[in-house]
Amino acid sequence: MYGKGLRPLSIATVAALAASLSLVFFYAPLDADQGFVQKIFYLHVPLAIVALLGFVAGGVFAILHLRSGDSRWDAYSYVSIHMSVIFGVAVLITGSIWAKASWGHWWVWDEPTLVSFLIVFLMYATYYPFRYAIEDHERQARYASVFAVTAGAFVPLNFMAVRMAESLVHPRTFATAEGGLPGEMMLTFLVSLAAIGLLWTTLVKLELTAKSASGQLKRLRRALDAPGTGGASRVAPEVS
């Protein structure tokens, strides 16, 4: 069920990533301030935006799970958060590389944008042990959904607080007062954002497909009363 449309989505993702890379390296002009290092922007910022939106999506799916009790929404919420945590790792590493190249430091502790993203990331890193600590599957799903809703609401609040805070060094991407991005850079950025968004969606779909296959295999094993390789996973939700 989840695998439907995975192939065209994967092809669209590869095409979008190729277009994005071509635009980044052959079309977008060099930044007057930072020069070639600014090319990291087209990877780092879309990754951050998609990761944060993924966390919010995890919260929305969790609300649907709590309202309906349908375990499918719990699986969507789990996989969205899981994928956004992976993207979050990429955001922190690419951000550190960019910081070292631009500011001469791998990390700046008094910079609200960096520290707030780290707080959000660490908060979601606790999602796994929190989920893993509960054995009963229904209770596990319910508590994880409550966590996802609360943490998901924190993400936009945190984002707004950071926007209001005075930044020391971190640039504001769409700051209209400072002029924003020129047309070619904006186009490149939007294509990169679409490519990273498609990549996130494809990987979420891929993981849901694998979980669905695994869940159906377990059901089949139970129905046939066959010797298995173990019970259901304690961490990941089962998808049928």
Partner 1 sequence: MLPLAAPALPLDEAGKYVAGAYVVFLVLIVIYVAIMAAKVQRIERELRELAGFAETRSNGGQAAAEREEVSAR
| Contact footprint for partner 1 (CB under 8 A) | 31, 33-37, 39-40, 43-44, 47, 86, 89-90, 93-94, 97-98, 100-105, 108, 168-169, 199, 203, 206-207, 210, 213-214, 217, 220-221, 224, 226-227, 229
CB of 213 to partner 1, least distance (A): 5
Whose Cβ is closer to partner 1: residue 17's or residue 63's? 17
CB of 33 to partner 1, least distance (A): 6
Which letter does DSSP use for residue 31 in this model? B
CB-based contacts of 17, cutoff 8 Å, min separation 6: 195, 198, 199
CB of 26 to partner 1, least distance (A): 14
CB of 13 to partner 1, least distance (A): 11
Bridge partners (DSSP) of residue 31 are 35
Whose Cβ is closer to partner 1: residue 154's or residue 189's? 189
Whose Cβ is closer to partner 1: residue 37's or residue 66's? 37
32 neighbors 97 (Cβ within 8 angstroms):
no
Burial of 134 per CB tally in 10 Å (0-12, 13-18, 19+): middle
Amino acid occupying residue 183: G
Task: Report d(CA 187, CA 193) in Å as an integer.
Answer: 10
Whose Cβ is closer to partner 1: residue 98's or residue 121's? 98
Number of other residues whose CB lies within 10 A of the CB of residue 237: 23
Task: Report d(CA 57, CA 148) in Å as an integer.
Answer: 9
Whose Cβ is closer to partner 1: residue 63's or residue 101's? 101
CB of 31 to partner 1, least distance (A): 8
Task: Report d(CA 146, CA 6) in Å as an integer.
Answer: 30
